[in-house]
């Protein structure tokens, strides 16, 4: 019952134009309102007078009666519902976008408008001259098909619609469904098999392509309905609402089709990123995907709002002001967002790198829009805001070409110089023999005379990127140094002190170590 009530309200709104008083002939050309109202008022069933409706058109040598009728048919066929509450009544109206004395009946159709010619308002000369062409675009086979269904059985009305209109609408739906099924069958059997044969499509790409073919089939079906729907001559408000529903559905399908195309493109980008050495682009791809999808949906929403005559400019301005206020209230969030952009652009580290900063270190696991997740060597997780991380001095230990091996060997002062020389040369030989030591970049030298030892500096690099191999190599080298010292009879020193005790008389001082 609620739906029936709403429908009756629509019908009352449609016929509300006839409830207004008629316009005097002398008042037809005073404003855009009077021109359009006079035209449509005198083409209603209960006030039908094409001669009076023709007064809204300029005299340029055409049959203005036929022009008035065909323009009304064109407006009805396109589903343009004129809300007279929004039509200007001022004789001095100026369009803000063109700065001219013109008024467009619909933003979506710049060919239909009224203009001020001299001191009087008329339908524009362009509209008058193009009406015949516009009418044929909407009714390519003529508009008199309804005359073939003039029998009383077809003109019987139910809820404001005739049986012919009900039958015609359901017939269009049936034809559209058949078209969709045929296109779907052809696309799935021919297109996908052809693409598989020549391009070897993976499953992840095949599914978006199949969805795309179904979407294209639905779009063709909807366009078929929109093409033939004007022939049914539906009531203007009902027909206008129905056309808007189909057009909005087609826009949504186009947006969804672009989403599927984007998913295919992003799939091949993902394959490319997997072949690169960098892991950062793998992390960036999901963020890029969400951004692309968001932009497509946003543009589709803006287009739908613009189609519905919503003031998109004012809406975007309001959103911009609100966004500015939100940005001021969430400066840290904005800072972290731009910090993440800097990390993605500068690439100071990659996923899996061992980094150190501000006394903290660990392995990078994920870089998000707000923070970076790092796995510490205690196997805990800590999250660093990207705004802070972008301003830190980062030591990317993961980018080291080699692992440094530095050790100081302290031997006792009782070691003879010739044995020290043998020990140093032996260490050099051990380094040269080890397969993971960089042979052209190591140093072994007698380096210092410390308080309790003679120090030998061993400085070299291990050719590995893995920590466990680094530890294993250090173990092997230190163990070989111990064996070498034992074979040469060299003892390692340890911290010790010698204390001299003074004695009285002629006895020499004694020493306690």
pLDDT score of 7: 42
Mean pLDDT value of segment 317-346: 63
The pLDDT of residue 228 is above 60? yes
φ and ψ at residue 297, rounded to 5 degrees:
-65, -40
Q: Which of 473, 481, 461, 446 is nearest to 405 (CA)?
A: 461
Q: Model-level pTM greater than 0.85?
A: no
Alpha-carbon span 71 to 65, nearest angstrom: 10
Q: What gap in Å lies between CA 102 and CA 116, rounded to an integer?
A: 6
pLDDT above 90: percentage of residues in the chain: 17
Domain range summary for the chain, segments of one domain joined by +: 20-138, 161-321, 333-398, 401-487
Percent of the chain whose pLDDT exceeds 70: 76
Top-confidence range, 251-265, 336-350, 378-392? 251-265
What mean pLDDT comes out for the span 329-336? 62
- What would the pLDDT profile of 82-102 be if each residue is shown by its tens digit? 888 889 999 999 988 888 999
Class of domain 333-398: mainly beta
pLDDT, residue 439, reads 81
Tens-digit pLDDT profile for residues 296-326: 888 888 888 877 777 666 666 666 555 555 5
Give the per-residue pLDDT at 323: 58
Q: What integer pLDDT is reported at residue 325 of this predicted model? A: 56
The secondary structure of residue 24, as a DSSP letter, is: P
pLDDT tens across 461-480, in order?
988 888 889 899 999 999 99
Give the CATH class of 401-487.
Answer: alpha beta
Residue in 426, 370, 377 with CA at minimum distance from that of residue 397: 377
253-258, Cβ contacts within 8 angstroms, sequence gap of 24 or more: 253/215, 253/218, 253/219, 253/222, 254/219, 254/300, 255/296, 255/297, 255/299, 255/300, 256/211, 256/215, 257/212, 257/215, 257/216, 257/219, 258/296, 258/300
Mean pLDDT across the stretch 182-205? 69
Contact assessment for residue 326 and residue 288, using Cβ atoms and an 8 Å cutoff: no
């Amino acid at each position: 019952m609620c739906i029936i009530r709403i429908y009756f309200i629509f019908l009352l709104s449609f016929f509300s134009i006839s409830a207004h008083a008629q316009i005097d002939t002398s008042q037809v050309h005073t404003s855009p309102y009077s021109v359009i109202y006079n035209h449509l008022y005198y083409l209603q069933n209960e006030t039908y007078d094409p001669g009076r409706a023709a007064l809204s058109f300029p005299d340029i040598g055409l049959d203005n009666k036929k022009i008035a009728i065909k323009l009304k048919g064109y407006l009805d066929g396109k589903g343009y519902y004129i809300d007279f509450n929004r039509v200007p009544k001022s004789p001095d109206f100026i369009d803000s976008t063109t700065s001219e004395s013109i008024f467009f009946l619909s933003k979506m159709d710049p060919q239909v408008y009224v203009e001020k010619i001299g001191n009087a308002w008329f339908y524009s000369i362009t509209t008058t001259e193009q009406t015949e062409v516009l009418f044929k675009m909407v009714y390519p086979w003529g508009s008199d098909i309804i005359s073939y269904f003039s029998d009383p059985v077809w003109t019987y009305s139910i809820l404001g619609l005739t049986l012919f209109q009900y039958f015609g609408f359901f017939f269009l739906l049936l034809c559209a469904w058949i078209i969709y099924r045929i296109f779907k069958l052809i696309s799935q059997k021919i297109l996908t098999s052809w693409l598989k044969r020549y391009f070897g499509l993976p499953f992840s790409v095949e599914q978006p392509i199949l969805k795309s073919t179904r979407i294209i089939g639905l779009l063709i079906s909807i366009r078929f309905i929109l093409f033939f729907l004007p022939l049914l001559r539906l009531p203007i408000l009902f027909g206008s609402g129905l056309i808007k529903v189909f057009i909005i559905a087609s826009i949504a399908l186009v947006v969804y089709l672009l989403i599927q195309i984007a998913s295919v493109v992003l799939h091949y980008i993902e394959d490319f990123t997997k072949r690169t050495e960098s892991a950062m682009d793998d992390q960036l791809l999901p963020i890029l995907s969400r951004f692309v999808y968001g932009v497509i949906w946003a543009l589709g929403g803006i287009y739908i709002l613009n189609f519905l005559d919503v003031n998109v400019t004012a809406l975007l301005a309001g959103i911009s002001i609100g966004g500015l206020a939100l940005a001021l209230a969430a400066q840290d969030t904005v800072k972290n967002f731009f910090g993440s952009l800097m990390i993605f652009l500068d690439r100071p580290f990659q996923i899996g790198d061992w980094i150190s900063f501000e006394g903290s270190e660990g392995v990078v696991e994920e870089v998000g829009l707000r923070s970076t997740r790092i796995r510490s060597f205690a196997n805990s997780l800590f999250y660093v805001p990207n705004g802070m991380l972008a301003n830190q001095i980062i030591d990317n230990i993961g980018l080291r070409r080699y692992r440094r091996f530095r050790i100081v060997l302290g031997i006792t002062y009782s070691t003879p110089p010739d044995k020290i020389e043998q020990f140093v040369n032996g260490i050099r030989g051990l380094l040269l023999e080890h397969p993971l030591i960089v042979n052209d970049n190591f140093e072994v030298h007698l380096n210092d005379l410390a308080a309790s030892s003679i120090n030998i500096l061993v400085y070299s690099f291990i050719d590995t990127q893995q920590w466990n191999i680094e530890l294993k190599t250090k173990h092997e080298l230190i163990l070989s140094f111990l064996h070498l010292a034992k074979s040469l009879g060299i003892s390692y020193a340890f911290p010790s002190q010698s204390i001299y005790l003074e004695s009285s008389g002629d006895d020499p001082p004694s020493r306690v170590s």
